[in-house]
Amino acid sequence: MRKQKYIKKNMISNSIFFEEIRGLITTARSTVVKDVDYIQVYTYFEIGRRIVEQEQRGEKRAKYGKMLIKELAMKLTMEFGDGFSKRNLEYMRKFYLTYPDRAGQIAQTLSAQFEKRQMLFGKLQKTQTSPAQLFQYKIMSCKFTLSWSHYVFLVGIDNISERSFYEIEAVAQNWSLRELKRQFNSSLYERLALSRGKKEVRKLSKKGQLVEKPHDLLKNPYVLEFLGLKEGSKYSESDLESAIIDKIEEFLLELGKGFLFESRQKRFTFDEDHFFVDLVFYNRLLRCYVLIDLKIGELTHQNLGQMQMYVNYFDRFIKRPEENPTIGIILCRKKTDALVEITLPKDANVHAKEYRLYLPSKDELRRKLLDWTS
């Protein structure tokens, strides 16, 4: 008898739950906002939240949760189409579980909005808020500013700091999903972290990549897999340069924030001798020139001395007084840190960095980062 009552109670509860979800989707589809992505993301977050809360009200068994999602998927698909499959509902559930704190942020923002609204209309005057208006308020206060496809990818990143970094950067740099995946697959977070001090690593997950000083531009290593050059194959420095020019958009993305391309093989003359800088860029955030020299072999002290000369020339004859000192970067296949340290003065604005023609192993870089920060 008790079992029958429990089943009946559960059926009533689930029926109310399905109607709530149905109402949520219907309201979302009838709401007009500036960006349709906000509607979709917030609606899916709310569906995920309600699935989790419904599971907590029911039996504390995984079997109940699977049954609930399966039944919900069947009903919603019949009425609204394939966007509410079992797999997609599981993503929505995971989405909420990944960002549960956002629910509290939305509630706080809403509370502040309604308080402000009451002050505007007078505390004694009662103001009616329709479900559509309430839904629109929630969307406006939503802390999600990427597309649903972006968040499906982000919830698959287990490391909280890494996930936060990629979300911040995707918003700030307006990355497409393809660009987000490329930066993740090239281990951007690990490479930036390994080129920074231990205290600065924590800032990556809270503020993303801040470009405030020359060192902030650097990565370890640079990844140029998009050039299509094969590791171990024969190619010249001219081939490498041409491949970069052909893929300049991807190369600028790899360089990072604020880079503008100026020229290749920039010639300058000194004491009747001609010199050529492989690639010249300008960084608008640091307001300085960035010179890049390409070396396909192992770095030598002559390479370092040559780049120091290029930097000195630009600082003395090219840059304006209001601009910051020129930065020199040598991209090479292999370097020895001891050689760089003994050749360059400590305050030199010249940096030697290795490049790779293939995507690095994320596991290997994660282990290096873990060993380095522990």
Q: Which token pair is 120?
A: 């505007």
Beta carbons of 326 and 290 less than 8 angstroms apart? yes
Percent of the chain with pLDDT over 90: 53
> Is the predicted pLDDT of residue 109 greater than 80, yes or no?
no
**Residue 57, beta-bridge partner list:** none
Q: Identify the weakest region by mean pLDDT among 22-26, 50-54, 184-188.
A: 22-26
At 141 the pLDDT is 55
Beta carbons of 328 and 334 less than 8 angstroms apart? no
- pLDDT of 349-360, one tens digit each? 999 999 999 998
Give the pLDDT mean for 327-345: 93
> Is the predicted pLDDT of residue 139 greater than 90, yes or no?
no
Across the chain, mean pLDDT equals 84
Beta carbons of 71 and 54 less than 8 angstroms apart? no
Beta carbons of 335 and 354 less than 8 angstroms apart? yes
- pLDDT of 42-95, one tens digit each? 889 999 999 998 887 765 555 666 788 999 999 999 988 888 999 999 999 999
Q: Domain segments of the chain: what residues?
A: 1-154, 155-207, 214-367
Q: Which CATH code for domain 214-367?
A: 3.40.1350.10
Q: Which residues contact 156 (CB under 8 A, 6 or more apart)?
A: none
Q: Which carries the bigger pLDDT value, residue 249 or residue 200?
A: 249
DSSP string of 202-266?
Answer: HHHHHH----SSGGGG--SSEE-GGG-PPTTS---HHHHHHHHHHTHHHHHHHH-TTEEEEEEEE
Confidence grade of residue 34 (pLDDT, cut at 50, 70, 90)? very low
Confidence grade of residue 5 (pLDDT, cut at 50, 70, 90)? very low
Confidence grade of residue 125 (pLDDT, cut at 50, 70, 90)? very low
At 245 the pLDDT is 97
Give the pLDDT mean for 230-243: 90
Position 228: which residue type? G
At 309 the pLDDT is 95
Confidence grade of residue 231 (pLDDT, cut at 50, 70, 90)? confident
In 120-171, at which residue ranges do the beta strands (DSSP E only) sit? none
The Cα–Cα gap between 242 and 213 comes to 29
At 320 the pLDDT is 96
> Is the predicted pLDDT of residue 328 greater than 70, yes or no?
yes
In the chain, at which residue ranges do the beta strands (DSSP E only) sit? 222-223, 259-270, 273-283, 288-298, 327-334, 350-356
At 149 the pLDDT is 94
> Is the predicted pLDDT of residue 121 greater than 60, yes or no?
no
Q: Identify the weakest region by mean pLDDT among 27-31, 100-104, 245-249.
A: 27-31
**Tokens 């994320």, residue?**
362
At 33 the pLDDT is 47
Nearest 10 degrees: Cα torsion 55, 57, 63, 65: -10
Confidence grade of residue 113 (pLDDT, cut at 50, 70, 90)? very low
- pLDDT of 277-320, one tens digit each? 999 999 999 999 999 999 998 899 999 999 999 999 999 999 99
**DSSP designation for 317:** I
Q: Which carries the bigger pLDDT value, residue 202 or residue 280?
A: 280
